[in-house]
Amino acid sequence: MKKSLLALAVLLTTALGIGGYLFYQEGLVSVPLAERLMLFVPGRPEFGEDQARIEALMLPGKRTEAFLTRQAALTVLEEQPGGVFSGQLVTALEASRHGRRWRLTVVQNWRLQDGSQLNAAQLAASLGPRVLPLGGECQVVDAMTLDLRFKVRPQGMPGLLSQWPVAGSGPFLRQGGVLTRFDGFTSGKAGFAAVEVRTDPALLESRAWADGLASARWAWAVFPGQVAPEDMARVRLAPYDELRMKDGSVWFLSRRLRRLRPDQEDWTRTRLFGAWKGSMDLPYDPLGM
């Protein structure tokens, strides 16, 4: 009888120990995030300058697609230099000790491009297709709180949250290669009315590319790679600054653009918000429209 009681006590103690350990592992710990308030610096254009509609000539491909997406759809987090993360669409991030549960606290009063306010259900709908292939699911805790739960600890969190865009959350509405300013953007109004990104191969040919820059048609243009010396000589006399990116691409950026600073480590992360075009280069409208 004593042996049975002893065995039962050992079993009970073991069960309590395992339960306590699992409960401890399930507990949430705060993940530090950098300050998020200065992610979007408002532009300061003079009267009429914020109505500029500009063109950019860029190479077709996945990187240009990523650049366009990032103007129209923010990611949950943004990775800063040094591997530090800041919240874009969340104010807090927590993770369980076993790394299979991640809790997101959604930023309040963030207006989406359809006029609604971002909430946990909308964030879940956007992140669901990203989470599912990793063996996870989204669980709405309350209106502003979302849990991501996984069967196996995902590799690369929270870096993945800095790569997952949330549709309709950014400062520009996108239609193909055209970005139109979303005037209801929570953090303010962008300094361009619209930006059209052209990737037409014919425009990237040596002569057409050089003619465009020499006539100041483009606000900026990516170097196509093969340009005749005489064409390049004309380009170097045009009012453009030459910037070299880490991936080897070269941008020719109009000196009349204000505060457009390409991220030279990864130019797809460049923000158009906060930049504007000088009045001296605004298109002339004889009808005053």
Mean pLDDT score across all residues of the chain:
88
pLDDT digits (tens, 9 = 90+) for 15-54: 545 555 444 456 899 999 887 656 788 888 988 889 999 9
The CA distance from 112 to 126, in Å, is 13
CB 209 within 8 A of CB 203: yes
What is the pLDDT, as a whole number, of residue 13? 58
- List pLDDT tens digits, range 233-268: 998 888 999 999 999 999 999 999 999 999 999 999
Please report the DSSP string for 226-274 in residue order: ---HHHHHHHHHSSEEEEE-TTS-EEEEETTEES----SS-GGG---TT
pLDDT at site 42 = 84
The span from the CA of 53 to the CA of 47, in Å, is 15
Architecture of the CATH domain 74-166: Alpha-Beta Complex (3.90)
Topology given in CATH for the domain delimited by 46-73+170-278: D-Maltodextrin-Binding Protein; domain 2 (3.40.190)
pLDDT digit string, tens, across residues 143-185: 999 999 999 999 999 999 999 999 999 999 999 999 999 999 9
Question: 28 near 146, Cβ under 8 Å?
Answer: no
Averaged pLDDT, 10-14? 58
Where does residue 192 rank: exposed (0-12), middle (13-18), buried (19+ CB within 10 A)? buried
**Residue-range domain boundaries for the chain:** 46-73+170-278, 74-166
Given this model, what pLDDT does residue 23 score?
45
- Asked whether the predicted pLDDT for residue 282 surpasses 70, the reply is no
Q: What is the mean pLDDT of residues 114-118?
A: 96
pLDDT score of 1: 60
What is the pTM for the complete model shown?
Answer: 0.84
Residue 96 neighbours by CB distance under 10 Å: 19
